[in-house]
Amino acid sequence: MSEESGVVNRVSGAGGHVVQVGGGVSGGIHFHGPSTPPPELVPRPTPHFTNQRAVLRAADRAFAEAGAGRWVLVLTGPPGVGKREAARAWVHDRRRDFPDGTFHADLTGAGVGAEADLLGAFLLSAGFAAQQIPSSPEGRAGLFRSWSAGRRVAVVVERASTPAQVRSLAPAGDGSALVVTQAGPLHGLRADNVVTFLELAPLEASAARELFGRIAGPERAVDEPDAVAEVLEVADGLPIAVCVAASMVAAHPQRSMTRLVGALRDEQRRLRTLSRDGGDLSVTAVFNTAYQRLTDDERACYRAAGAHPGPGGFGAHVIAAALGWDLDRVHDSLDSLVGAQLVTEFTESRHSMHSLVRAHARQVAAPEGEREALLRRVVAFYRDRAVAGGHRAMPGRGMWERLRPGQVLPEVDVPWRWLEDERANLLAAVVAASDLGLHEVVCQMCLMLWPLHERGKHLDDLRRCGDLGVESARALGDVAAESLFTTQLGFGHVHRGEALAAAELFTRALALARTTPFTDLAATALESLGLAQVAAGAGEVAARTLRHNLELAGELGQPRRTALARLHLAKVDDLPSALALLAAAEAEFLGLEPPDTYNAGKAAQWRGRRLIADPARRGEARAELLRADRVLDRHFDRMATREALGDLASAEGEHDEAASRYREALSIAETEVFPHDGARLARKLADLDPAHPPADPQAQQPG
């Protein structure tokens, strides 16, 4: 129109599209901003992404079941397990479900205001001009929710530590997805979202090998299979470690893997070797990022957990002992470490760490010499419980009082079950004490762990403890302890069917004992030599040795020793004498204070085994064996009782019953890894059932 009409057709200032309407308009008028392509901010996953397809399928199912509304997927797992790649892979695979865009937020090292900066980037990519974006975090979060309402988008948030971080970055549209990799406790998201938590486990062996081959080249995995296997064992299923090692191999195709394997064998060099890149492809960098997020208490707890020497789990009590804290404080910090995925809680009272996480925890404790101080307190914790528990298990043994006179027993109540549960940690504490040069602690622990190792027939532990005990006793110049530990070491050979090797050790122990004032040590070595002779099938020689042992026990005037001497002689003496010896031994065991019901049960078991030779008394033999079976609940003893019941049935011509009993005994031998006994049982079973494979070793009765 002309200016005469008083209307000026002019637009000043910045503007977008200008629409002029003249005359009547029917229908609605719609205003649209500039056409902006949907944001695609989520990086593509690495082409080497491997073995998390089960997790992705589970995410697909959960997304489908979530229906309308916003859905949150939280991926959990230890640092370096591949949460980031899994999140990116899922969004990439489902990008058609999010036609209005995908957004990416990495909270690594995020400080104050990081979420606001990330929201600003979201809004810019969605087409907003900078001057349209509010300055406050709340305003930006609100604008992003308003924009995303009615749209279908996916937001990936990496390394989120708190629910508040996640909520501030959440879209609002139905059918949208918020995919989060957890770096801290996020269960609070359940309060106002449909949330699916999926845990990523370390790679299985086949997947780790596949990933290694993709990066290093398939020919390397084929050419050096043993070296690859050792590298992957160190990586322990952690994808970041596999990737670093494989990249190192790929970078030097002319080299064998010998140098790499050597570096990874050394725990002091392991993390450094897997962290040479210093950037994203660094195991240490991944763990450092997680560590830096922790509070001071959480860091201290992390370092104490790393100092723990055992390969298995640990409880809050040992961490409390290492730090000098109360249990509530330890529990709070452990809960936070579980939330940070640095520690795994596999039962209510047990925790564990991935081997490389533990190595990192030890590394960060090392500069100030803190690790050794922590380790010494951990060793002291296990020493006190080993001594107290060993005494409770075998109070009448008397070796502590004779070899460590004047040393007070720790006032700690340690049940047998605790010793069994902590067996691996107790042995690790002995090894750590030896490495630290704490020879007296080694001797004390080896002395008092004997009941645990011998009764449970934990032969590897028995022999390792025996070796360390002998070394420490020699370092202390303690000939008496060296004699005892040499005897204990010999039983590791007896129960493996190595009777001659055991006899040599017992003979050496006897010679050492005779140079000390401890006659009972000589008696212990002599008795053990007799048992090795029984195991070797030298019945007459064994009988002479064990009669001498009984005489010596009588001279010492120790009721428990005398009862044991009768029990052992009864294994090879003539039947009438054996039955009298066993009756007397059982009465003596039950007359001790407290009564030794375990060895009383062994006396009943041996009475049943010896009575099998008398056809007229086999009913009595069965009754005795069944009575023993009700008392003896340790695996080795249950195996021996069932074998004896099989022998009894075989002697009676009841072959089906005999085969059934032998199979029961063989199952225990195979499950509990008693290979020598399993071979003997397989041979007996083969004699009854030709379909059962025979075994090579000669049949012997277990001691």
Angle between helices 635-651 and 675-688 (to 10 degrees): 20
669: buried, middle or exposed (CB in 10 Å: 19+, 13-18, 0-12)? buried
- Asked whether the predicted pLDDT for residue 654 surpasses 70, the reply is yes
Per DSSP, 314 falls in state: B
Structure tokens at 55: 């997790």
Number of C-beta neighbours around residue 130 at 10 A: 8
Q: Please give the CATH number for the structural domain made up of 293-367.
A: 1.10.10.10
Q: Give the strands of the sheet with 102-106, arranged side by side.
A: 102-106, 154-160, 177-182, 71-76, 194-199
Position 270 scores a pLDDT of: 80
**DSSP letter (8 states) at residue 180:** E
Residue 321 in 3-state DSSP? Answer: helix
Q: What is the pLDDT of residues 429-454, one digit of tens each?
A: 999 999 999 999 999 999 999 999 99
Q: For the ranges 91-95, 108-112, 332-336, 621-625, which has the lowest average pLDDT?
A: 108-112
Contact between 206 and 215 (Cβ < 8 Å): no
Backbone φ and ψ for 700, nearest 5 degrees, come out as -140, 155
**Percent of the chain clearing pLDDT 90 (strictly above):** 59
Residue 280 pLDDT > 90: no
- Cα 250 from Cα 264, distance rounded (Å): 17
> What is the value of pTM for the model shown?
0.76
Assess whether pLDDT exceeds 80 at residue 197. yes
Length of the chain: 703
167 membership: H or E segment, kind and range: helix 163-168
- Residue 80: the pLDDT is 84
| Crossing angle of helices 258-265 and 225-235, rounded to 10° | 30
Average pLDDT over every residue of 644-673: 95
Q: Band of the pLDDT at 222, cuts 50, 70, 90? A: confident
**Torsions phi, psi for 172 (to 5 deg):** -115, -10
| Alpha carbon distance 384, 368 (integer Å) | 27
Per-residue model confidence (pLDDT) at position 48: 73
Q: Is the pLDDT at 597 greater than 80, yes or no?
A: yes
Q: Is the confidence at residue 345, as pLDDT, over 50?
A: yes
Using the predicted structure, report yes or no on whether residue 7 has a pLDDT greater than 50: no
Average pLDDT over every residue of 217-225: 82
Residue of 573, 659, 662, 565 lying closest to 613 (CA atoms) = 573
Res. 221 pLDDT band, cuts 50 70 90 = confident
- At residue 11, does pLDDT exceed 70? no
List all residues 6 or more positions away from 351 whose beta carbon is below 8 Å from its beta carbon.
305, 313, 314, 315, 316, 334, 337, 338, 343, 344, 345
Residue 611: pLDDT over 50: yes
* Sequence-distant (≥ 6) Cβ neighbours of residue 460 within 8 angstroms: 492
User: Could you report the per-residue pLDDT of 569-583, keeping only the tens digit for each?
Assistant: 999 999 999 999 999
Domain 53-199, CATH: 3.40.50.300
Q: For position 214, what pLDDT does the model report?
A: 86
**How much is the pLDDT for 112?**
61
Question: Could you tell me the residue ranges of all domains in the chain?
Answer: 53-199, 205-284, 293-367, 634-688
Quick check: 372 and 330 in contact, CB under 8 A? no
Tokens of 431: 């090894």
Q: Which residues pair with 199 in a beta bridge?
A: 76
Measured distance CA(461)–CA(345) in Å, rounded:
26
Q: Which two tokens stand for residue 368?
A: 């100030």
Percent of the chain with pLDDT over 70: 91
pLDDT in tens, 66-107: 876 679 999 998 888 889 899 999 999 999 999 999 999 998
CB contact set of 293 (below 8 Å; sequence gap of 6+): 161, 183, 184, 340
Q: What is the pLDDT of residues 119-156, one digit of tens each?
A: 999 999 999 999 999 999 999 999 999 999 989 999 99
User: How many CB atoms within 10 Å of residue 689?
Assistant: 15
Residue 139 has a pLDDT of 93
Nearest alpha carbon to residue 306 among 324, 285, 323:
323
Read off the DSSP letter of residue 616: G
What does pLDDT average to over the chain? 88
697 pLDDT higher than 90: no
The pLDDT score that the predictor gives to residue 356 is 86
Give residue-wise pLDDT tens across range 226-245. 888 988 888 888 888 888 88
State the number of CA atoms in the 13 A half-sphere of 35 facing the CB. Answer: 0
Which is nearest to 646 in space by CA: 674, 616, 686? Answer: 686
Distance, first Cα to last Cα, the chain: 117
